[in-house]
Structure 1
Amino acid sequence: MNSRANIDPVKIKAKRIKCEDEHLFFTRAFFLPRMGFKFSVNWHHEYIVDKIDQVISGKVKNLVINVPPGSGKTELLTNLIARGLARNSRSRFLYLSFSQSLVEDVSATARNIVKSVDFQSLWPVKISSSTDSKSNWKTTVDGYDAGHVYSASMGGQVTGRRAGTLANDGFTGAIILDDPLKPEDAFSKSARKKANRKILNTVNSRKAKSDTPIILIMQRLHDEDPTNFVMTGNVPGDWEQICIPALIDDDYINQLPEHIQTKVPRDVERDEHGRQSYWPLKESLQSLLQLEKGGEDKDGAIVSRYTFASQYMQNPKKLGGDLVKSEWFGRYIELPVLKWRAIFADTAQKTKEHNDYSVFLCAGLGYDNKLYIIDVHRGKWEAPELIKEAKKFITKHKVSNNKIGNLRYMAVEDKSSGTTLIQTVSRETTIPIRAIQRGTDKLVRTMDVVFYVEDGMVVLPASAPWLLNYVEEVEGLTADMTHDHDDQWDPTIDAINNMVVKPYDLLD
């Protein structure tokens, strides 16, 4: 019979001490019973937990961790909350992220760990019954509320909340910032400033004492993102930063702490530049190299070269185009009532890697005479597949709905594969297919419409699978046309011209 009475108290004490002293041991110990399989440890996890242990011991005052998507960062921070309460049940944590659902999940998972039989057998920490919700729960000591875990979105209210406590010396909690900036907002100067102000003015003032640590963990998003804000001296305190790129080479490995260097496998597949995957078990070298060129990730989301450099390599490139600024676009959460809609297509001449994509863009004209971009579909398709994708996109948006208006036509540039598309689809669909002639160069066409964008006449959704890629492209447009792609911007120009500037030109 496996009862608590039969468990060796010496082993219990040894496990308790090791959990309190080593973050990786604690994480692995409580991951297995919760998930049903072992936590897969890679060298970067050991690097991160080494720094977390230094934060707990006070050797590192504040920490910035930059890691690729899917690195396991949130799991490590979830366990930091539970482990902090194991070490001191009076500990207080503030956990903040751009995502309300993320912070609630993290907070609830940490609470479930504390409530678990395995945890309680080592540390009988009591959860208060007065405050016990997903995002806000407390522990009790001697019948009084003591420890506290409060989670909120970056836009949420944290007034009156504190991280850390004056009741004890040493580590008594932390402020944890897990992805404080939404990827789609990274190209909005006002959104970046808002996130940075929150860190400086609100978050930094929530410390119970000056040495309560802040841990910022995120993928790099922009050269002016919160990581840059913190590491350029804008937030008081001593900060240490570790960066973990998705592709690593010997130069990177050799600058790691010696005890971490020995954990990095060297006998793995490398590309011609001597680069290997940071985590071969999870991310193959070939999959990362494909993403580096621009492609779909495992969830089907488009990863551009800018996204790869930023979020995967932790090296965001400065977008110096300045022709179109993302903060000029309005944002909508729900589509307003629209007068009518149309589809605009931009077709590539070839599908080779260095050529542009083909794009289908659906937009609607609001009763405020603003252009609402509804959907963007982008890919590299040969002629037969291009035609098939065009018909699928038409079918998707040819819905009868008075609130969003009728779909009046599809407009296609009458050139190369676009001409074939016009001729073929015209015979096989019931909506008109109209030809567009683009007579002037792209810079002239851009300058003709850009003030409509600057005046807020073009509105994007607050969230969409294609949005980040779209914003990256328009932010990167350059006057000398040295940018990588403008295939999404071209149909946007067409939409502005034919729905905002002269909305009835294509109807006759």
Structure 2
Amino acid sequence: MTMRTYSPEERFVATQLARADLYEFSRWMFVQRKGFIWNRAPHHKIICDALMRVFRGECKRLIINVPPRYSKTELAVINFMAWALGKVPDSEFIHTSYSGKLASKNAFQTRDLVLSQAYHEIFPELVLRHDSKAKDDWKTTAGGCVYAVGDGGTITGYGAGKQRPGFGGAIIIDDPHKADEARSEVIRKGVIDWFQNTLESRKNGPETPIILIMQRLHEDDLAGWLLKGGNGETWENVVIPALQEDGTALWPAKHTVEALRIMQNAAPYMFAGQYQQRPSPAEGGVFKPDNLVTVDAIPAGVVEWVRAWDLAAAIDGDYTAGPKLGKLPDGRYIIADMVRDRMAPDDRDKVMKNTAERDGTGTKISIPQDPGQAGKTQVLDLTRKLAGFSVSSSPESGDKVTRAEPFASQVNVGNVLMLRAPWNQALIDEMRMFPNGSHDDQVDGLSRAFSVFIDNNFGMLDYLAQLAAQKAATQTGP
């Protein structure tokens, strides 16, 4: 497609609008550089307006959550840095991403844009220093600069922002987490530690803005940590889901509603975080907790009871949880009780003993056995303390999602009851967030309890056959 010719009057108006407003700048530069009109969507202006608030000093801490490949880098990194440098040529920027190579590429594209003829028409006063050849480190003759670095990289000797009234630069973070590494607590914590210990200290003053633009990947990713008050500051959060609350698509030219629904059904965890900016499906992923049947009393005739435990190693992180699960004569199950607290080992052991005495000898007890000699010693010690009760132990096998799926299938088809109690909501919330939530102790305990019924009553092969029959019945209907 050949770009149409604009009259001198049209070019003058367009360049003046571009000089005054980031959104108009993005529109004009797109058509000038690409040769065709930008296929715009409402979120493009939402992003630009938020960045303009930062430029005007109305916002110092901004998080924008938006799906991948929805123009976020072009707008919030490349265009914003170029436009702001045109307005304030001595602005100092530090730009970072999970990959140093990507950050360097973004800085280079900004430099390339600044050197274009179309940009010079808008901001003729901006000039780069003759020695600004590096992709990831270049400067203006007015004293402005752009420095790009990956997470974990060195920023010694560089700072962002001027210590004066008005805009003077910013720290811009674009996708600090790599999507396929975001579930690793160690890697997530490494990103957050680098932000705290290295990146934040690169502000030349407390008023230097920080902009984080990213797709949500986990409840405790950098955005989640900051929004929970992780660094003690208040952040403005602009949330832009691909599938809108009214059921329409944010950017139909990119993804239609039908395409989004297919993606949602195929990969609910990925879609919930990356495309909806909620790091877990609203209706639940592995578990559909809305299908739990809440009852006010335990039905008569429970065939078997199991109290299974998920044991925390420390008192300042995970919980110790001990759900009580029963099997009814009609093949359904009921969650009748939940013990859950952060406890030191001695207190935990007392709680387990007291709970066993309350349950009675008719309730089986299942505890996990950690690998190694220490795990065997712990199981032996707990078994002795629970003398007189039916206690079994086994190591955990497979990942936690695989372990949870058999019980989740029963929850999801409405085959599990739950006794109404104060602990219900915490369990529902954990199920809804699983496996992306901060805690999974209750789910792990219930998975263990259900595995006892599978092993004792009809074996795994029979269970899988029953599950297949249930799925077939659900798909075909009555």
Q: TM class by shorter-chain length?
A: 0.5 to 0.7
1:448–1:232 CA distance, 2 compared to 1 (3 A): closer
Cα deviation, residue 19, structure 1:
2.2
In the alignment, the residues of structure 2 paired with residue 276 and residue 444 of structure 1 have an alpha-carbon distance, to the nearest angstrom, of 50
Given the two structures, how large is their TM-score scaled by the length of structure 1? 0.54
SS, match of residue 234 in structure 1: coil
Query: Paired residue for 1:40?
Result: 39
Given the two structures, how large is their TM-score scaled by the length of structure 2? 0.57
1:285-324 matches, cutoff 5 A = 285-294=257-266, 304-317=267-280
Query: Paired residue for 2:388?
Result: none
Query: Paired residue for 2:60?
Result: 61
Q: Please tell me the residue identity of whatever aligns with 1:308.
A: F
Cα deviation, residue 445, structure 1:
8.4
Query: Paired residue for 1:228?
Result: 224
Contact 1:221/1:307 (<8 A) preserved? yes
Query: Paired residue for 1:356?
Result: none
Cα deviation code 1:230-271 (max 9, x no counterpart): 111122444100111111124xxxxxxxxxxxxxxxxxxxxx
1:60-459 matches, cutoff 5 A = 60-77=59-76, 78-124=78-124, 125-141=126-142, 146-166=143-163, 169-250=165-246, 275-294=247-266, 304-317=267-280, 447=396
Cα deviation code 1:123-146 (max 9, x no counterpart): 2322112232111111113xxxx1
1:174–1:448 CA distance, 2 compared to 1 (3 A): closer
Cα deviation code 1:480-499 (max 9, x no counterpart): 449xxxxxxxxxxxxxxxxx
Unpaired runs of 5+ in structure 2?
Answer: 1-6, 288-308, 311-391, 401-434, 449-478
In the alignment, the residues of structure 2 paired with residue 111 and residue 196 of structure 1 have an alpha-carbon distance, to the nearest angstrom, of 29
The percent of aligned pairs where both chains have the same amino acid is 33
Contact 1:180/1:195 (<8 A) preserved? yes
SS, match of residue 86 in structure 1: helix
Cα deviation, residue 171, structure 1:
1.2
Cα deviation code 1:393-452 (max 9, x no counterpart): xxxxxxxxxxxxxxxxxxxxxxxxxxxxxxxxxxxxxxxxxxxxxxxxxx998625789x
SS, match of residue 217 in structure 2: coil
SS, match of residue 90 in structure 2: coil
SS, match of residue 36 in structure 2: coil
SS, match of residue 141 in structure 2: strand
Name the structure where helix makes up a greater proportion of residues.
Answer: 2
In the alignment, the residues of structure 2 paired with residue 18 and residue 92 of structure 1 have an alpha-carbon distance, to the nearest angstrom, of 24
In the alignment, the residues of structure 2 paired with residue 289 and residue 283 of structure 1 have an alpha-carbon distance, to the nearest angstrom, of 10
In the alignment, the residues of structure 2 paired with residue 227 and residue 30 of structure 1 have an alpha-carbon distance, to the nearest angstrom, of 30
Cα deviation code 1:243-302 (max 9, x no counterpart): 11111124xxxxxxxxxxxxxxxxxxxxxxxx12111121011111111111xxxxxxxx
In the alignment, the residues of structure 2 paired with residue 115 and residue 315 of structure 1 have an alpha-carbon distance, to the nearest angstrom, of 39
Q: Please tell me the residue identity of whatever aligns with 1:26.
A: F
In the alignment, the residues of structure 2 paired with residue 177 and residue 47 of structure 1 have an alpha-carbon distance, to the nearest angstrom, of 18
Q: Please tell me the residue identity of whatever aligns with 2:275.
A: Y
1:477-496 matches, cutoff 5 A = 478=444, 480-481=446-447
Query: Paired residue for 1:342?
Result: none
Cα deviation code 1:64-97 (max 9, x no counterpart): 0011122110110210010011001101111100
Contact 1:31/1:38 (<8 A) preserved? yes
Indicate the structure (1 or 2) with the bigger Cα radius of gyration. 2
SS, match of residue 177 in structure 1: strand
Contact 1:200/1:234 (<8 A) preserved? no
Q: Please tell me the residue identity of whatever aligns with 2:25.
A: F
1:445–1:106 CA distance, 2 compared to 1 (3 A): farther
1:206–1:481 CA distance, 2 compared to 1 (3 A): same
Cα deviation, residue 228, structure 1:
1.1
In the alignment, the residues of structure 2 paired with residue 311 and residue 450 of structure 1 have an alpha-carbon distance, to the nearest angstrom, of 23
Contact 2:16/2:122 (<8 A) preserved? no
Contact 1:320/1:478 (<8 A) preserved? no
Contact 2:14/2:28 (<8 A) preserved? no
Total equivalences in the alignment: 300
SS, match of residue 396 in structure 2: helix
Q: Please tell me the residue identity of whatever aligns with 1:293.
A: N
Name the structure where strand makes up a greater proportion of residues.
Answer: 1
Q: Please tell me the residue identity of whatever aligns with 1:200.
A: Q
Q: Please tell me the residue identity of whatever aligns with 2:250.
A: Y
Contact 1:95/1:175 (<8 A) preserved? yes
Q: Please tell me the residue identity of whatever aligns with 2:141.
A: T
1:112–1:478 CA distance, 2 compared to 1 (3 A): same
In the alignment, the residues of structure 1 paired with residue 46 and residue 251 of structure 2 have an alpha-carbon distance, to the nearest angstrom, of 13
Contact 1:55/1:61 (<8 A) preserved? yes
Query: Paired residue for 2:432?
Result: none
Unpaired runs of 5+ in structure 1?
Answer: 1-5, 251-274, 295-303, 324-442, 452-470, 483-508
1:210–1:319 CA distance, 2 compared to 1 (3 A): farther
1:212–1:320 CA distance, 2 compared to 1 (3 A): farther
In the alignment, the residues of structure 2 paired with residue 101 and residue 113 of structure 1 have an alpha-carbon distance, to the nearest angstrom, of 18
Contact 1:92/1:174 (<8 A) preserved? yes
1:130–1:285 CA distance, 2 compared to 1 (3 A): same
Query: Paired residue for 2:294?
Result: none
Contact 1:61/1:238 (<8 A) preserved? no
Please give the root-mean-square deviation of Cα atoms over the aligned residues, in Å: 3.2
SS, match of residue 140 in structure 2: strand
In the alignment, the residues of structure 1 paired with residue 399 and residue 27 of structure 2 have an alpha-carbon distance, to the nearest angstrom, of 54
In the alignment, the residues of structure 1 paired with residue 112 and residue 397 of structure 2 have an alpha-carbon distance, to the nearest angstrom, of 58
Q: Please tell me the residue identity of whatever aligns with 2:182.
A: A
